[in-house]
């Protein structure tokens, strides 16, 4: 078990995760120009596992786990990594970086909502309003599809990537109750990389496009694999273990901002009013749903009046 860390340390790590993951969507979008989607995912995950496993063995040695400890790790590997990476890479190859980061910005809202059902937490009016705002922002993006390179199919695949990540995140808290986040991260990435590698061997006639061994593609690939994927996942899992999934997800509210700015800066994508409006709706929705801001007093009063009217 990892010892309890100070909140300031956890908040710093989660802030770094936001920065890394916000830029990572843009990095993968860039790399899909040099690698097929189902080749890029196993390459990135194998590189990440190659970093995580030696570090885990150095700190903990080879740790034999029970079947009960393996089950949530397998859940993380399947949903949070294997399916998520496939959908993420394919989605980013079929839509714009701006649309991708906005859709991924629904992560905190989905985590809070799904936890309400899985963990039997109360489903409040704030969460209901958050869902409405979040999906309004999502619809604004996909129906006002003026962004070059964006497609409805690509946006749909990005939504699948978001949902699979959320499901996988629910396994993290269970897995890290008795196992170190470093071991959980290393083992789950190793399992997922094996699955992605097998899938890639069956589906890829080629594994790279011309120019893939240039300085910038290799530098971005190493950044995405070692920092965004390996260290980002380790710090995210540590944050969930220390302060819980719902609280950790609050920090992902900033990921769409980082991603949109990175898309405009590095990919040259143009921002329009619907992207900015969708960003406001998504951020407002996730802030309400996760409790970062409280539901306005007027809605509380309206709810009370509605409840009183229905009782009479």
Give 63's pLDDT tier (boundaries 50, 70, 90). confident
Say if residue 206's pLDDT is above 80. yes
Q: How many whole angstroms separate alpha carbon 312 and alpha carbon 51?
A: 64
Q: What is the structure's pLDDT at 4?
A: 74
pLDDT higher for 62 or 47? Answer: 47
How far is the CA of 235 from the CAs of 2, 86, 301, in angstroms? Answer: 12, 22, 40
pLDDT tens sequence across 92-125: 888 877 777 778 777 777 777 776 676 565 566 6
Q: How many whole angstroms separate alpha carbon 106 and alpha carbon 131?
A: 9
% residues pLDDT > 90 (the chain): 39
Of 243, 244, 226, the C-alpha closest to 234 is 226
Q: How many whole angstroms separate alpha carbon 236 and alpha carbon 103?
A: 19
pLDDT higher for 163 or 271? Answer: 163
Q: How many whole angstroms separate alpha carbon 62 and alpha carbon 55?
A: 11
Say if residue 146's pLDDT is above 60. no
- pTM, 2 dp: 0.78
**114-118, 155-159, 188-192, 236-240 — most confident range:** 188-192
> Poorest-confidence range of 18-22, 93-97, 245-249?
245-249
Q: Are 51 and 226 in contact (CB under 8 A)?
A: yes
Q: Are 153 and 43 in contact (CB under 8 A)?
A: no
pLDDT higher for 109 or 90? Answer: 90
pLDDT higher for 223 or 123? Answer: 223
Q: What is the structure's pLDDT at 312?
A: 53
Q: How many whole angstroms separate alpha carbon 114 and alpha carbon 168?
A: 11
Q: How many whole angstroms separate alpha carbon 7 and alpha carbon 278?
A: 31
Of 134, 99, 107, 105, the C-alpha closest to 22 is 105
Give 201's pLDDT tier (boundaries 50, 70, 90). very high
Q: How many whole angstroms separate alpha carbon 279 and alpha carbon 87?
A: 22
Q: From the CB of residue 209, how many other CB atoms can be counted at a distance below 10 Å?
A: 13
The residue assigned the tokens 């593609």 is 217
Q: Where are the domains of the chain?
A: 10-311
pLDDT tens sequence across 251-303: 776 677 777 777 777 777 676 777 777 778 777 776 766 566 665 554 555 45
Say if residue 248's pLDDT is above 90. no
pLDDT averaged over the chain?
81
Give 72's pLDDT tier (boundaries 50, 70, 90). very high
Give 127's pLDDT tier (boundaries 50, 70, 90). low
Read off φ and ψ for residue 11, nearest 5 degrees: -65, -35
């Amino acid at each position: 078990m990892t010892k309890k860390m100070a909140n300031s340390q956890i908040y710093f790590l989660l802030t770094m995760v936001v920065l890394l993951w916000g830029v990572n969507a843009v990095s993968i979008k860039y790399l899909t120009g040099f690698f097929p989607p189902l080749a890029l995912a196993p390459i990135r995950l194998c590189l990440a596992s190659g970093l995580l496993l030696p570090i885990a063995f150095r700190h903990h040695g080879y740790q034999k786990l029970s079947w009960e400890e393996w089950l949530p790790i397998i859940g993380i590997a399947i949903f949070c990594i294997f399916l998520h990476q496939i959908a993420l890479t394919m989605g980013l190859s079929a839509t714009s970086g701006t649309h991708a980061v906005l859709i991924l910005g629904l992560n905190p809202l989905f985590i809070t909502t799904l936890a309400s059902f899985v963990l039997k937490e109360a489903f409040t009016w704030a969460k209901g309003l958050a869902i409405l705002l979040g999906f309004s922002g999502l619809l604004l993006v996909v129906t006002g599809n003026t962004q070059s390179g964006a497609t409805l199919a690509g946006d749909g695949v990005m939504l699948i990537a978001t949902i699979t990540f959320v499901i996988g995140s629910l396994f993290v808290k269970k897995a890290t109750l008795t196992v170190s986040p470093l071991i959980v991260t290393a083992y789950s990435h190793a399992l997922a990389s094996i699955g992605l590698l097998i899938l890639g061997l069956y589906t890829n006639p080629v594994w790279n496009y011309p120019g893939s061994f240039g300085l910038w593609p290799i530098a971005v690939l190493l950044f995405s694999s070692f920092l965004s994927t390996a260290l980002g996942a380790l710090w995210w899992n540590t944050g969930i273990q220390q302060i819980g999934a719902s609280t950790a997800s609050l920090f992902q509210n900033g990921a769409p901002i980082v991603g949109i700015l990175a898309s405009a800066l590095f990919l040259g994508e143009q921002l329009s009013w619907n992207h900015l409006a969708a960003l406001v709706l998504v951020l407002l929705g996730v802030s309400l749903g996760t409790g970062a801001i409280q539901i306005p007093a007027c809605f509380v009063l309206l709810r009370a009046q509605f409840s009183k009217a229905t009782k009479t």
